[in-house]
Amino acid sequence: MLLTSNGTARSGDRVRAVRSPSLVPDQGLGLSGRIILGDCIAALNDLPAASVDMVFADPPYNLQLQGELHRPDDSRVDAVTDDWDQFESFAAYDAFTRAWLTAARRVLKPNGSLWVIGSYHNIFRVGTALQDLGFWVLNDVIWRKANPMPNFRGRRFTNAHETLIWASRDAKARYTFNYEALKAGNEDVQVRSDWFIPLCTGEERLKDDAGRKVHPTQKPEALIARVLLASSKPGDVVLDPFFGSGTTGAVAKRLGRRFIGIERDPAYARAAEARISSVEPLAEASLAAFTTAREAPRVAFASLVERGMVAPGTVLTDEKGRFQAVVRPDGSLMAGPQVGSIHKIGALVQGAQACNGWTFWHVNDNGRLSPIDALRARIREEMGAS
C-alpha cells in the first residue's frame, strides 16, 4: 500500500482517504512495511521522534550535468537528467541536505545510526552537514564498482567508486555493529572499509515494458544487504527517505527487518511496491542474531556442578592431559594445596598470568574428552541463546 504524506492511501492512480496510523516508538510502527508517497522532509517530520533504528539514504547527487553525454560512437548515455537531481546552486543543495538530515536525526532512536551514499559531486558537502548537525562519523566506506561506466571523453580517471558515510546519532550512541557475524562470514578476517561489489545489472535491474531502466540510479541489493547486516538486527525498523525503486525495502523484507520508504515519484513508488510484494523473507532460523561470547548469558561454573553435569570430585584435565584439577562442591577447583576459580587454577598450573578456564579445562563426557565450555553451551541453549 502507498500512503501519501498527508495520511491518504494510494494504489495505482486512485487515492482514497484513510485514518492516519498510530505511531508509537518502541511498540512497532504502524507504517512499517509501507511506502509514504510525498516530500521526504514533510513525511519525516510527520513521523514520531526516536522511532527508527537505522536510516539508509541515497539522496540526489546534484551531478550538475551540462547537456547530454555521448559515447565515442555518438550514442547517447542514459545518464541522470531527472528534475529531482537539479538544484539551482550549491547553497540550495546544502539547505536541502541540512533539512532532510535534521529531520532524519529527529526520528532516529538515541542509539540509531545513519548511512548516506554519494559521489564526489556531493558527499563532501553531506559530510560537513552531518558533523555540523551533531552526527558522529564512524566510517567512510568505499564502494568499488566491479563494472564501472568508463569516462567516455577520456579527460578524467574512470569514476569507479562511490562513498558511503556511516554515522551514529551522536558521539555517545551505543550503535549496532555486528562485528563478529561479519568477521565470521569473511573467513574470520575483519571486514574492510572498501567493498568490491558490481553495479546493479541483469535480472535485478528493474525495466519497464519498453525495456528502459525504471530508475537511473538503482543500487545493487548486495550493497544494501551488507549495510543492513552490518548495522541492524532482525526486527529493526529501517527508514529510507529516498526510496526510489525500493531496494532498501526489498532487502529489509528478505532479511527480516521492517522498513519505511518515502518516495515522491508515484511511478517509482508503484514499481517499488510491486517489487517488494514478490520478495519472500528468509527462514527465521537463518536470521537469528549472532550472539558473541560477551553478549551471551552469564553461566557460572558452579551451575554445572549444581545441575549434576560435573560431579564434585571429578578430575578435570587440559586437552593433552598434562595438568589436573579436582572439582569441589562449591564450583571451585583444587590443584594440590591451591584452590580457586577455573580461570585462576588454569593459569596457576601453567605458570601463566591469565587463562580462559572454559576452554582450557576438559572433562570426560560419555567417553570423549570435551571442554567444559561445551557443557556451558547446553545451559545457554536452554536459556534461549546458543
- Do 372 and 281 lie in one domain? The reply is no
- List average pLDDT for each run of 10 residues in the chain, which is 386 residues long: 51 30 36 85 95 96 58 48 68 93 97 96 95 98 88 82 97 94 90 92 80 81 95 96 94 95 91 92 82 75 92 94 95 95 96 95 88 90 65
Q: Is residue 28 part of a domain?
A: no
Cell, residue 373: 565450555
Q: Is residue 13 part of a domain?
A: no
Of 251, 286, 321, which marks where a domain is finished? 286
Q: What are phi and psi of 213, to 5 degrees?
A: -60, 130
- State the pLDDT at residue 296: 72
DSSP helix/strand/coil, 203: helix
Category of 110 on φ-ψ map: left (φ > 0), alpha (ψ -120 to 50) or beta: alpha
- Total number of domains constituting the chain: 2
Of 237, 255, 286, which marks where a domain is finished? 286
Q: For the domain that residue 217 is a member of, what is the CATH number?
A: 3.40.50.150
- Do 121 and 237 lie in one domain? The reply is yes
Cell, residue 332: 571451585
Closest CA to 245 of 197, 211, 200: 200
- State the pLDDT at residue 201: 80
Supply the pTM of this predicted model. 0.71
- State the pLDDT at residue 82: 58
- Do 276 and 346 lie in one domain? The reply is no
- State the pLDDT at residue 184: 87
Of 286, 312, 342, which marks where a domain is finished? 286
- Do 317 and 358 lie in one domain? The reply is yes
Q: Is residue 136 part of a domain?
A: yes
* Residues 30 and 3: beta-carbon distance below 8 Å: no
Range of the domain at 214: 34-66+74-286
* Residues 333 and 326: beta-carbon distance below 8 Å: yes
Which amino acid type is present at position 186? N
Q: Is residue 2 part of a domain?
A: no
Strand 108-118 versus strand 161-168 pairing type: antiparallel
Closest CA to 124 of 134, 116, 133: 116
- Do 269 and 125 lie in one domain? The reply is yes
